[in-house]
Amino acid sequence: MSEPLIDGWGREIKSVRVSVTDRCNFRCRYCMPAEGLEWLPQPEVLSFEELARVVRLLAEMGVDEVRLTGGEPLVRRELPTLVGMLAEIPGVDDLSLTTNGILLDRLSAPLVEAGLRRINVSLDSLSHVRFAEITRRDALDRVLAGLEEAERYPELRPIKVNCVAIRGFTEAEVPALAELARRKPYVVRFIEFMPLDADEAWRGDEVLSGGEIRALIEERWPLVEVPAKPSSTARRFRFEDGAGEVGFVNPVSEPFCSSCDRIRLTADGQLRTCLFSRREWDLKEPLRAGASDDDLRALIRWAVRHKELKHRINERGFVRASRSMSQIGG
Ligand code: SAM
């Protein structure tokens, strides 16, 4: 174990989001354009060996939480093989995956067998018409089937269901999603809409805040706050009558940058120290040019030293990130 990874503001980095592909089989309006986003050429994408090497180095520096994401991570071929490689790395205590769920019916079993222990499934609507409207794909039944399949594996807990909260759309979904949290062993989490959409159509007044959604839920079911880890992005609440839990991830209305312990690795091997970074640190080139572990560690430490203090979404002159969410890895 080497020295922990500490950024220039004194925050220790414990968590990495690893994007395994920029490709996706959905076209969610708040994330991707309807068409026209160019995929990375295949040789640009890090191999499993390269990804595992970076994760091993990070784990040696104290990063214990690894979340695989994308694009849609389940469209990356042989993903369970990568999960198996990462699950074996000493120090990786929490290995999870964020997915749109459409391939979970086929892949839950091999993923669990490979060592996956947690999943987050994105689900913005329980109505077929509105699901198709927001994702631009008619795939609700397959996502629900994927969730049912994941539920069969007690190893995969908690199952988190993530919903991006957009004013004018999500209000109508809140009762059904809250009921889902009461009926199923799922923690339903509402995530405030952030300016990371490829269409660059985000407007501040479209952010439906966690506070507003909480009030909508409490019209029917009172909630009680559950203490969360200081580094947690979500405020957690259980229903007062004990049936289920919901969470609110409020990066816009209640930024949690001061306790941010995350970095991100894009599918093409760029280290990002904030979702809203304008600058990336290239690991792919040194990885492929024969850099030693020490060289890579030094580069990672240097990047982390320059981690942004905070995002500036709510400030005048906010400048959008250099890439959109599906290209970064949410
Ligand atoms: N395809 C996978 C999925 O659907 O979960 C993983 C990648 S997706 C980019 C990761 C998460 O980012 C999803 O929960 C998605 O809803 C969220 N997301 C995408 N664009 C967003 C935005 N503009 N604001 C907030 N969350 C967003």
Q: Is the pLDDT of residue 53 over 80?
A: yes
Q: In what order do the strands lie in the sheet with 262-265?
A: 223-226, 234-239, 245-249, 186-192, 159-165, 118-122, 94-99, 65-69, 15-19, 262-265, 270-272, 281-282
**Burial (Cβ within 10 Å: 0-12, 13-18, ≥19) of residue 289:** exposed
- Please state the atom number of ligand 1 nearest to the C-alpha of residue 163: 16
- Dihedrals φ, ψ of 15, to 5°? -140, 140
Tokens of 146: 């994927």
Name 10's Cβ contacts closer than 8 Å, sequence gap at least 6: none
Per-residue pLDDT, 64: 97
Per-residue pLDDT, 288: 98
- Please state the atom number of ligand 1 nearest to the C-alpha of residue 328: 9
CB 134, CB 28: distance < 8 Å: yes
Confidence of residue 65 (pLDDT cuts 50, 70, 90): very high
Distance CA 280, CA 312 (A): 17
Mutate to test the pocket of ligand 1, among 137, 164, 192 (most ligand atoms within 8 A of CB): 164
- The DSSP letter of residue 10 is S
Q: Is the pLDDT of residue 213 over 90?
A: yes
C-alpha distances out from residue 117 to 29, 33, 66, 192, 212, Å: 29, 32, 11, 26, 32
Confidence of residue 317 (pLDDT cuts 50, 70, 90): confident
CB-based pocket (< 6 A), ligand 1: 24, 30-31, 69-70, 72, 98-100, 122, 162, 164, 191, 193-194, 196-197, 325-326, 330
Per-residue pLDDT, 229: 84
pLDDT (mean) for 262-278: 97
Per-residue pLDDT, 202: 96
Q: Is the pLDDT of residue 1 over 80?
A: no
- Stated pTM of the model: 0.97
Nearest CA to ligand 1 atom 5: 99
How close is the Cα of 84 to the center of ligand 1, in Å?
Answer: 24
Look over the chain and give the mean of its residue pLDDT values, rounded to a whole number.
Answer: 96
In the chain, the percentage of residues whose pLDDT exceeds 70 is 100
Distance CA 321, CA 313 (A): 10
In the chain, the percentage of residues whose pLDDT exceeds 90 is 94
Least confident of 72-76, 86-90, 283-287, 321-325: 321-325
Nearest CA to ligand 1 atom 25: 193
Name 217's Cβ contacts closer than 8 Å, sequence gap at least 6: 174, 175, 178, 223, 246
Tokens of 297: 């560690």
Q: Is the pLDDT of residue 9 over 90?
A: yes
Per-residue pLDDT, 88: 98
How close is the Cα of 197 to the center of ligand 1, in Å?
Answer: 9
Read off the pLDDT of residues 118-177 as tens digits, 9 standing for 90 and up: 999 999 999 999 999 999 999 999 999 999 999 999 999 999 999 999 999 999 999 999
Q: Which single residue is written with the structure tokens 């990371």?
A: 196
Read off the pLDDT of residues 217-246 as tens digits, 9 standing for 90 and up: 999 999 999 998 887 889 999 999 988 999
Read off the pLDDT of residues 93-110 as tens digits, 9 standing for 90 and up: 999 999 999 999 999 999
Confidence of residue 330 (pLDDT cuts 50, 70, 90): confident
Tokens of 99: 């997915």
pLDDT (mean) for 274-292: 97
Distance CA 206, CA 228 (A): 27
CB 216, CB 171: distance < 8 Å: yes
